[in-house]
Amino acid sequence: MKTLILAILIIMSIVFTQKIWFYSPIKMLQSEASFKEKQTAKITEIRNELVIPERVEVSFGNSYYTIISSDVEKVWEASRSILFQYFTADVEVVPTTLERYKENSWLKSVELEFGRNIPSVLVASVFDTVDNKIVNNIKEIRKILIPTLNRGVIYIVGKDNNVFEVRMENYQEDRQLLSFLDKLQDSSYIRYYPLFIDVGNPTLMPLSYDVAIPEIFVESEIDVKDESMVTEKVKSFFDDSLDFVKTIKETSGATVFMYGYGEKGVRINNRGRLEYNEEVRSISSSNVVNALDVAIEFVLQQEGGFPEGAYLKEIRQVNKGYYLGFNYRIDGLPVVFHTNNMTHPIEIEVYGNKVKSYRTFTRKKMNFPDVPINSKILLPQQIIEEHIDLLKYNYLKDQDVEEPKSDKEVLSYIERSITKTEVLYYDTIEEASTQLLVPVWRIKIDAREYYFNTYDGKLLYSSLVN
């Protein structure tokens, strides 16, 4: 009897062993394939969320305009079904003039403005295509103009302000965008107007700004006072183990985590700014879509994802790799700051399929009441008038003008040279972790940007830009 039981156990053991050998590897492969498929789908989803316009100008015709920053996603969603046809059809792409572009922008239309140096292939990837007539003829996309009444034609501004007309036969009418604009026109929107069109400057300026924008309390994503949080945050950069990682405390309050002889390192400063660097020995070339996907996968692994409201702000080639800069919005408004170490809140350098450096400094809104302001928002033209002496001084300095200029000449220069006005949240980075964000007007005049408090007109920052 014992011999029989023993024999049965041996047979069962052999059978189960065979099942493990024959079936487990298949299930493991299936599970791994399923994970990769889900990961690829997630990366594509995030890419489509990041590659969106940063700003939208809407023309209702008859000199009625508005600028959209907080509902960019809604306008982009309404525009995508139209643009899908152009990016996937056999279109005709022909150079045209900036004058023709402006003429169409005065009619009922939507102008989508993207970040800096955004390749057309990235915009095309949103429509699941990378090889099409637009990509082959236009390498970068700065702006896309969609006239709502001119069927079968859109306009694209590329690198160096080169303008292209994209024509399509057999255009299928799509009323989603037109319906969106009709609803917007019937609502209470902030009206803009090209105040300096008489001197040839079409830049839009608000005629009034009756929407109150509160000051808001934010805090750094990383609480540097919580050592356990910092440790857990850093672990993911070292394969969830700090066994062979040295920790160095700097006199500035920053903490440095270093693996080996500096092959890989993370530095977190006293405000919660994180910087990761890794040696990349064998550098292989890559395309920009793959570079963005590598950056997205890295952020997914280390952070779980991008902050809410994130979008691609800038791309540039660095040797054989790519620099990618990202911005983000809080309550619909872009958040900006200025430091010597960073240009954008999230910066990633990708070489081949590896991330060489990753820098991030983002804030999250705190559960504090917003700070309402009793006074009205000043208009940018009012702020310009209040600071005319400062603008005159910077004009003479920036242009290296030695001969004296009259106020009339300086004012004429300013009117011709204003290229952008927009409302943002400005982070002064005065506090270690908790900070009060204030709304500002960013006013770009020629090669200089100014950041003025929207309520008291105080200058917070000014610099020359490329």
- In tens, the pLDDT along 53-97 reads 999 999 998 888 999 987 899 999 999 999 999 999 999 999 999
Q: Which of 189, 207, 239 is the last residue of a domain?
A: 189
Residues 237 and 353 in one domain: yes
Give domain status of residue 199, yes or no: no
Decide if 199 contacts 416 (C-beta within 8 A).
yes
307 and 332 fall within a common domain: yes
CA distance 246 to 256: 8
DSSP-assigned states of every residue in 150-195 = STTEEEEE-GGG-EEEEE-SS-----HHHHHHHHHHHS----EE-T
Quick one: pLDDT at residue 24?
60
Which of 285, 310, 286, 284 is closest to 296 using CA atoms? 310
36, 66: one domain: no
Question: 453 and 408, same structural domain?
Answer: yes
- Residue 361 and residue 374 in one domain: no
Round to whole Å and give the CA distance between 315 and 327: 12
Please state, in angstroms and rounded to a whole number, the distance separating the CA atoms of residues 82 and 145.
Answer: 12
Tell me, yes or no, whether 75 and 166 share the same domain. Answer: yes
196 within domain boundaries: no
Q: Does residue 194 lie in a domain region?
A: no
For residue 202, being part of any structural domain is answered with no
Beta bridge partners of 313: none
Say whether both 147 and 69 belong to one domain.
yes
Total domains present in the chain:
4
pLDDT for residue 366: 92
Question: In this structure, is residue 396 part of a structural domain?
Answer: yes
Claim to verify: residue 135 and residue 82 sit in the same structural domain: yes
Residues 101 and 241 in one domain: no
**Same domain, yes or no: 412 and 391:** yes
Q: Answer yes or no: is 197 within a domain.
A: no
- Along the 466 residues of the chain, how does pLDDT read in single tens digits? 556 565 555 555 554 555 544 456 666 556 666 777 888 999 999 999 999 999 999 999 888 899 998 789 999 999 999 999 999 999 999 999 999 999 999 999 999 999 999 999 999 999 999 999 999 999 999 999 999 876 899 999 999 999 999 999 988 888 888 888 889 888 889 999 999 999 989 999 999 998 889 999 999 998 888 888 888 899 989 888 888 889 999 998 899 999 887 889 999 998 999 999 998 877 776 899 999 999 999 999 999 999 999 999 999 998 889 999 999 999 999 999 998 889 999 999 999 999 999 999 999 999 888 887 888 999 999 999 999 989 988 988 888 877 767 778 888 888 999 999 999 999 998 876 789 999 999 999 999 999 999 999 999 999 998 7
23 falls within a domain: yes
Residue 70: per-residue pLDDT: 79
Three-state SS at 140: strand
In whole angstroms, what is the distance from residue 189 CA to residue 207 CA? 11
Is the model's pTM score more than 0.75? yes
Q: The dihedral of CA 437, 439, 445, 450: what is its sign?
A: negative
Q: Contacts from 257-266 at CB under 8 Å and sequence distance 24+?
A: 264/237, 264/238, 266/234, 266/237, 266/238
Strand partners, 147: 109
- Give the per-residue pLDDT at 380: 96
Q: Examine residue 27 and state whether it is found in any structural domain, yes or no.
A: yes
- Shared domain for 226 and 359, answered yes or no, is yes
Question: For the CA atoms of the chain, what is the radius of gyration?
Answer: 27
Using alpha carbons, select from 351, 343, 301 the residue that is nearest to residue 326: 343
- Structural domain containing residue 355: 217-365
Angstrom distance (rounded) from CA 73 to CA 94: 29
Are 254 and 276 members of one domain? yes
Contact 410, 389 (CB under 8 A): no
- Structural domain ending residue among the three candidates 138, 173, 189: 189
Q: Tell me what pLDDT residue 294 has.
A: 97
